[in-house]
Amino acid sequence: MAIPIVFDMETGDPDDVFTLCALATHPWAHLVAVTVMPGSYEQVGIVKHLLGRLGVSVPVGAYRPGADVKPVSGFHRRWLGKVPAHEPDAEAWQLLRDDFASADATLLTGAPLKNPGTLLEREPNVRIARWVAQGGFAGDCVVAPEHRLPKFEGRETCGTYNFNGAPDAALKLLESPHVGERVLVSKNVCHGVVYDGAMHAALSARRLTPGMALVRAGMEVYLAKRRAGKAFHDPLAAAVALDESVCMFREVEVYRERGAWGARPAAGTRTRISVSVDQTRFLDVLTATG
């Protein structure tokens, strides 16, 4: 049975829209709704455009509908051209409220957590059965030496974009008794997953869903300008939402210290953080067709 997923995203980093495309036609996912941070008409237009190209119709919500900001990266315009702006279907927190009231959907977050944070402010007793977040950091006390990336060796804390973009909201979600299960796909693991020329070639050799074919087309544009590739933070989190065997996890207590995030081993927290990734399994899950 397909997993119902509500995806909370932004558009400053291209990997969010690639995650959207992958989820929209994935056989293991039932995309229920999309919420956008902060929610400019240009952002909503891009989300609606991509969903339309894939023949998928779901409501799209915004944190601040019509926000007068420019949060869309230049890559989106190079890839998609001029896309008409569009109004959202509702405020994001309202969509989240309705989705979690009627189903045990998974909340997948790839943006600063203001949308789910507003939901908890407005509806403090809302129940979120499962939250899969791209965010957090697991340091040396949690990650075995053989799984540590050299850039993070010796560290216990680190700033992370999505959690630091709304730290109070992040802490609320981490502490709320109404969040049944918390699965964090951490910065130290995400940075080890890169869509580069080798991954591009691997996708070329596979049969792909329409959504993943669109991802491959977008990455062709991206790689033409940046040959080193693109870290695939949010697609990794999406793959975990569909199959947790993509990563290894440890149960932890997450804490914030001097603007950085860390995790220490703990029992009974209902919070698990990634400590390693199976790259082969990740690609198999992301490109599954049945």
Provide the CA 48 distance to its chain's centre, in angstroms.
Answer: 18
What are φ and ψ of residue 232, in 5° steps?
-105, 65
Q: pLDDT tens across 55-69, in order? A: 999 999 999 998 877
**Token code pair at residue 191:** 């940075």
Residue 114 in this model has a pLDDT that exceeds 80:
yes
Question: Quick one: 189 exposed, middle or buried, by C-beta within 10 A (0-12, 13-18, 19+)?
Answer: buried
Q: Name the residue ranges covered by the structural domains of the chain.
A: 3-286
pTM to 2 decimal places: 0.97
Buried b (16+ CB within 10 A) or exposed e, 108-145: bbbbbbbbbbbbbeebeebebebbbbbbbbbbeebbee
Beta bridge partners of 185: 134
| Residue of 239, 222, 233 whose CA lies nearest to 280 | 239
Strands (E), 11-102: 29-36, 60-62, 90-91
Q: Which fold has domain 3-286?
A: Inosine-uridine Nucleoside N-ribohydrolase; Chain A (3.90.245)
Q: pLDDT tens across 263-272, in order? A: 999 999 999 9
Q: pLDDT tens across 185-224, in order? A: 999 999 999 999 999 999 999 999 999 999 999 999 999 9
Residue 70 in this model has a pLDDT that exceeds 80:
no
Task: For residue 18, count other CB atoms closer than 10 A to its CB.
Answer: 26
